[in-house]
Structure 1
Amino acid sequence: MVNVVLLVVLVALVAVSAYFTFSVPKKAPVVEQKPQMVEADFLGADCAECFNLSIAFDFLNKQPGMKLAAVRNRTSSESEELAAKYNITRLPALVLTGEIENRTIPSFEQVGDALVFSTAPPPYFDVKEGKVKGIVSVIKLEASCPTCFNTSILVDQLRASGVVLGQVQSVRAGTGEGNALVAKYKIEKIPTLIFNSDALEYEVISQVWPAVGSTESDGALVLRVVNPPYVNVSTGKEEGLVSMTYLVDASCNDCLNESTYQELFEKGFGMRFSEIKSVDVSSARGKLLVNKYAIELVPTVVLSNDAKLYPVVDQVWSQAGTQENDGSFVFRSVQLIENVVGGPITYKNLTSNSTVDTTKSALEEPDVSPATPDLS
Structure 2
Amino acid sequence: MKKRLRKFKIVTTPQTKYVALIGVVVFAIFAFSAFQSMTLGSIVHDAVLSAKEEARPAEIALLTITTNNCPECFNIQSVVEKIKNSGVNVTQEGTLDFSSDEAKQIIAQFGITSVPTVIVSGELNRSSSLERVVTPIAHLSGGALVVDTIEPPFLDAQTGAVQGNVSAFAIIEPSCESCISLDPLVSQIESLGIALIENKTLLAQSAQAKSFISAYNISALPSLVLIGDMNKYTDFASVWAQIGTVALDGTYVLRTKTPPYFDIVQSRARGNVGVLFIEADTCETCYSAQVFHTPILQNFALPLSNVTSLNASSEEAQVIIEEYRIEKLPALIMFDDLAAYPSLVNAWAPVGTVESDGTYVFRSVEFAGQPYLNVTSNTVVSG
TM-score range, shorter-chain basis? Answer: 0.5 to 0.7
Whole-angstrom distance in 2 between the partners of 1:68 and 1:84: 24
CA–CA distance in structure 2, aligned partners of residues 87 and 256 of structure 1: 71
Task: Give the 3-state SS of the residue equivalent to 1:120 in structure 2.
Answer: coil
TM-score normalised by structure 1 residue count: 0.68
**Where does residue 140 of structure 2 map in the other structure?**
111
- Alignment partners' CA distance in 1, 2:353 and 2:218: 29
Equivalent residue, structure 2, for 1:62: 85
Q: Any residues of structure 2 matched to 1:284-323 within 5 Å, and which?
A: 284-286=319-321, 288-289=323-324, 299=330, 301-304=332-335, 306-310=337-341, 313=344, 317=347, 321=351
Residue 173 in structure 1 maps to residue 204 in structure 2: yes
Gaps in structure 2 of 5+ consecutive residues? 1-50
Amino acid corresponding to residue 265 of structure 1 in structure 2: L
Q: Deviations over 1:235-255 (max 9, x none)?
A: 221111112122432333244
How far 1:201 moved relative to its partner? Answer: 4.1
Name the larger-Rg structure.
2
SS in 2 for 1:283: helix
Partner AA of 2:318 in structure 1: S
Aligned to 2:121: 97
Letter in 2 for 1:122: P
Partner of 1:43: 65
Amino acid at match of 1:40: L
Whichever residue aligns with residue 115 of structure 2, its letter is L
Q: Give ranges in structure 1 of 5+ residues lacking alignment.
A: 1-29, 338-344, 357-376
Q: Aligned partners of 1:97 and 1:138: how far apart in 2?
A: 40
Aligned residues: 314
Say if 2:83 and 2:133, in contact at 8 Å, map to a contact too.
no
Q: Distance in 1 between matches of 2:181 and 2:308?
A: 22
Report matched runs for 1:238-257 at 5 Å: 238-257=269-288
Greater RCO (CA < 8 Å, at least 6 residues apart) = 1
- In structure 2, C-alpha distance between the alignment counterparts of 1:56 and 1:333, rounded to whole Å: 59
CA distance in 1, matches of 2:360, 2:164: 43
Q: CA 1:87–1:186 in structure 2 vs 1: closer, same or farther (change >3 Å)?
A: same
Give the Cα separation in 2 of the matches to 1:88 and 1:333.
Answer: 68
Deviation digits for residues 204-259 of structure 1 (CA, Å, limit 9, x no counterpart): 74232122112223322221113222221122211111121224323332444333
Task: Choose which of 246, 249, 269 in structure 2 pairs with 1:218.
Answer: 249
Amino acid at match of 2:75: N
In the aligned structure 2, how far is the partner of 1:75 from the partner of 1:335? 73
The amino acid that maps onto 1:101 is N
Where do 1:1-376 residues align within 5 Å? Answer: 33-46=55-68, 47-64=70-87, 66-76=88-98, 89-104=113-128, 105=130, 106-109=132-135, 111=140, 113-127=143-157, 130-144=160-174, 145-160=176-191, 162-199=193-230, 201-202=232-233, 205-260=236-291, 261-262=293-294, 265-266=297-298, 269=301, 271-274=303-306, 276-278=308-310, 280=312, 283-286=318-321, 288-289=323-324, 299=330, 301-304=332-335, 306-310=337-341, 313=344, 317=347, 321=351, 324=354, 329=360, 346-348=370-372, 350=374, 353-356=380-383
In structure 2, distance between residues paired with 1:251 and 1:179: 56
Report the CA distance shift for 1:347/1:125 in structure 2 as closer, same or farther (over 3 A): farther
Please tell me whether the aligned partners of residues 115 and 155 of structure 2 are also in contact (alpha carbons under 8 angstroms): yes
Give 1:125 shift.
Answer: 2.7
Normalized against structure 2, the TM-score is what? 0.66
- Aligned-residue sequence identity (percent) comes to 21
SS at match of 2:308: strand
Give the SS at the match of 1:196: strand
Match of 1:23 in 2: none
**What secondary structure, in the 3-state scheme, does the structure 2 residue paired with 1:207 have?**
helix
